[in-house]
Amino acid sequence: MRCAVLGDPIAHSLSPTLHRAGYEAVGLDWTYEAVRVPSGGLADHVSGLDEGWRGLSVTAPLKREALLRASVVSDRAALAGAANTLVLTGGPGGEVHADNTDLPGAVAAVRERYDGPVAAATILGAGATAASTGLALAELGATHVRLLARDRVRAAETAAAIERHPGGVQVEVVPLRSATVLGDVVVSTVPAGAQVADLVDRCATASVVFEVLYDPWPTPLAEAATGRGQTLVGGLDLLVHQAALQFLAFTGVAAPLDVMREAGEAALRRSGSSDE
């Protein structure tokens, strides 16, 4: 069977490394590749796949687009308004099942590093990943989430997704360039290039810094968090936990999480982006 990660850009993705290591560890003769699919091209790409294809990991900028191609949508993908996982059944014309493993993956990534309270939190950025991590923060107990966004109008969809959490979450959208960071956890979904000194300094009050990027590494925010002694949750933590859930969805076999993590860490060391 064949699987792939889709997005644009995509050459940097560690997903092939993780999934291939998993297949080898459990004895599956499957393939997994990275395929560049630009915004607007997901539906045509999926329609052209034959019965040899089983699973697709979906990354930026396609996560919201993925919902439109699905015939069956999981509750958490519907809640987030975005999917990062498509499972193909029956070949061309068959059902396409959409899920969001970023949400439970983010919960697992935080709890692996931090067992303290999460009453309030801040997210830098307001795209599809911010929606998933915002819902994860709500799962962890947050009742107040502050979105630091460049564009209040474009952030409205993400704010609405987080507010749909059944636990009841107050979401406020404030300017990225000047607003203060609130709460126990700060999540960064912005590019490393946007992590200017003033923004990094504003994140010093949080107990936990969750940097969703893994390449480049360390980002300015991750480096500062390490120096300040804050608990750091890295992008590889998120990638491994969400990939393990995708692995199970694609193959029906429990993922060898430790093997996948070790493969990711080795790849980052080779590229000079190690998180160690």
**Spatial distance between the Cα atoms of 210 and 224, rounded to a whole number of angstroms:** 12
- Of 63, 69, 202, 241, the catalytic one is 63
Structure tokens at 226: 């390490």
Residue 198 phi, psi dihedral angles, 5° rounding: -65, -40
Structure tokens at 257: 């999480």
Strands 96-99 and 85-88, bridge-based pairing: antiparallel
Structure tokens at 52: 């040899």
Query: What are the residue ranges of helices labelled H in the chain?
Result: 15-26, 42-47, 63-69, 75-80, 102-113, 128-139, 152-163, 197-202, 220-228, 235-251, 257-271
For residue 6, the cross-strand partners are 35, 58
Task: With CA atoms as reference, report the closest residue to 71 among 53, 97, 93.
Answer: 97
Distances (CA, A) of 247 to 23, 57, 107, 234, 252: 9, 10, 17, 20, 8
Q: Is 213 a catalytic residue?
A: no
Query: Which residues does the annotation mark as catalytic?
Result: 63
